[in-house]
Amino acid sequence: MTATLPRAVRSLPLLARLAGWHACARSRVHLSRLDDTLLADLGLTRDEVRRECAKPFWA
């Protein structure tokens, strides 16, 4: 069944996953660059941010 679908359609799930992983990694980079005042506004500590940023991109 999948062999009859166009390649672009078959690739969508993989591309969506890759886009999600990229967005997650990018968000963690932005989070790591926030100063302590902004982190406090978000209710986060520097230690929590370090733990989050240490996760692999797919987690």
Give the per-residue pLDDT at 5. Answer: 63
**What per-residue string of b and e applies to 2-34 under the rule 16 or more CB within 10 Å gives b?**
eeeeeeeeeeeeeeeeeeeeeeeeeebeebeee
* pLDDT score for 6: 73
Q: What is the per-residue pLDDT for 9?
A: 63
Q: Which residues of the chain have pLDDT under 50?
A: 1
Residue at 24: amino acid letter: C
Instruction: For residue 18, give the H/E element and its range.
Output: helix 7-32
Predicted confidence at residue 38, as pLDDT, reads 98
Distance CA 49, CA 35 (A): 11
Q: What is the pLDDT of residue 22?
A: 95
